[in-house]
Chain A
Amino acid sequence: MNDEDDDLILADLPDDELVQQMFDDLYDGLRDEIEEAVHILLDRGWEPYNILTEALVGGMTIVGKDFRDGILFVPEVLLAANAMKGGMAILKPLLAETGAPRVGKMVIGTVKGDIHDIGKNLVSMMMEGAGFEVVDIGINNAVEKYLDALESEKPDILGMSALLTTTMPYMKVVIDTMAEKGIRDDYIVLVGGAPLNEEFGRAIGADAYCRDAAVAVETAKTFMARRHNSMATAV
């Protein structure tokens, strides 16, 4: 880091430059700086929802893209996610108060036998950032745990994550069980994880496979809009 950066005073920056700086700070995983900048924007009268979407989600989208393109690797993504988490922790209570839009609700978890949770956590965070309520049921979920969560949380969307070739087939077990119980079509089922692909998603009967968190958000929004439309016509 050079002297100029050392001397950078976030509070002296105009809004647009501050948001740019937040993109850089997220990219570099600087949690303290992100928290400070969130406070500054709040003091300047920014709506919490706008800070979340424009600064945090905007910055994280860049990180996600560079991860996909092989420019960043896992630790950088993890550090950036940590920094974003810091910012979100400040905004979350305010978002609840200010009645920010709620797009839908999602239950998400990693399937049985699989402990990889970095991707799942990132998807949760970006979905929250996009206005979804997310209930994260953690790692190593057997079918019963998914079903319990569906029943108690009544989400619109079920998300399943798997990073192992040996655990990804378990997603089909969950979807088949949902079908047996006659509840498959009550939910939008999204699946993801590095070894999956679109063909696999189709083969197991998911509604969609999502390559990354940004695609997950877009896909979830599209399905929610479709859902509302079909409900509107049904009435």
Chain B
Amino acid sequence: MVIACGALAREILDIRDRNGWHHLALTCLPAQLHNRPERIPAAVEAAVMAARPHHGRIVIAYGDCGTGGQLEALCDRLGVTMIDAPHCYAFFEGSARFAAHDDEITAFYLTDFLVRQFDAFVWEPLGLDRHAELRDMYFGHYTKLVHLAQTDDPALDAQARECAARLGLAHERRGTGYGDLPRWLERA
């Protein structure tokens, strides 16, 4: 049984189907927690408690995601495995590869999920729909938007280019596939 961030649902289902892992059950927590990471551990704990009576092995498809180690502490306490990475940008690109460019600090990353959900997860929560003047206070130090692309989808690429334009950033596409995720799922 996989308990995952909603931002990984589509990817996990695709990996499952490609590998024929029909036994793999998935439940997702709202991806909105992304912007309130302090609430992630409690949500994960509740989901684990709810799943325990019905499922043998439970794994948590989350990175630290800004919980400052709290999610890891929780998983240790509950005896469940999570993804050993700071966030999904890192494990989609491959944690080692991501860490290798830790000097790329003026890049703003979007996964396929975030490109698709740009308005709901970036534009609106940051208030840019209501207050365009805030854009440069958020992104003034950034130079480029890097689309970490999980899939080859020209329509999505075009959307990513549009996101970059709206943020006033240059656009770069970096094909990553699913990175470390399939292997993690297989082992889990």
**Chain A interface residues (CB < 8 Å from chain B):** 70, 73-76, 78-79, 82, 113-115, 117-118, 139-140, 163-166, 168, 194-197, 200
| A115 close to B141 (CB less than 8 A) | yes
Min Cβ gap A148→B in Å is 20
| A75 close to B130 (CB less than 8 A) | yes
| B66 close to A195 (CB less than 8 A) | yes
B30 in the interface (beta carbon within 8 A): no
What 0/1 pattern do residues 103 to 124 of B give for CB contact below 8 A with A? 1011000000000000000000
| A140 close to B105 (CB less than 8 A) | yes
What 0/1 pattern do residues 134 to 161 of B give for CB contact below 8 A with A? 1001100110000000000000000000
B68 in the interface (beta carbon within 8 A): yes
> What secondary structure prevails in chain B residues at the interface with A?
loop
4 smallest beta-carbon distances between A and B, as pairs: A75-B127, A195-B68, A165-B64, A165-B86
- Cβ of B137: which chain A residues have Cβ within 8 Å of it? 78, 82, 118
27 contacts between A and B (CB under 8 A): A70-B36, A73-B127, A74-B127, A75-B127, A78-B127, A78-B138, A79-B134, A82-B137, A113-B102, A113-B103, A113-B105, A115-B105, A115-B141, A115-B142, A118-B138, A139-B141, A164-B66, A165-B64, A165-B66, A165-B69, A165-B86, A165-B87, A166-B99, A194-B38, A194-B66, A194-B68, A195-B64
CA distance A197 to B37 in the complex (A): 13
**Chain B interface residues (CB < 8 Å from chain A):** 35-38, 64, 66-70, 86-87, 99, 102-103, 105-106, 125-128, 130-131, 134, 137-138, 141-142
CA distance A140 to B130 in the complex (A): 29
- Cβ of B103: which chain A residues have Cβ within 8 Å of it? 113
Min Cβ gap A16→B in Å is 30
CA distance A140 to B70 in the complex (A): 25
| B127 close to A195 (CB less than 8 A) | no
| B131 close to A195 (CB less than 8 A) | no
Given contacts A78-B134, A200-B69, 13 further A-B contacts (CB under 8 A): A75-B128, A75-B134, A76-B127, A113-B103, A115-B106, A115-B141, A118-B137, A139-B141, A164-B66, A194-B37, A195-B64, A195-B66, A197-B68
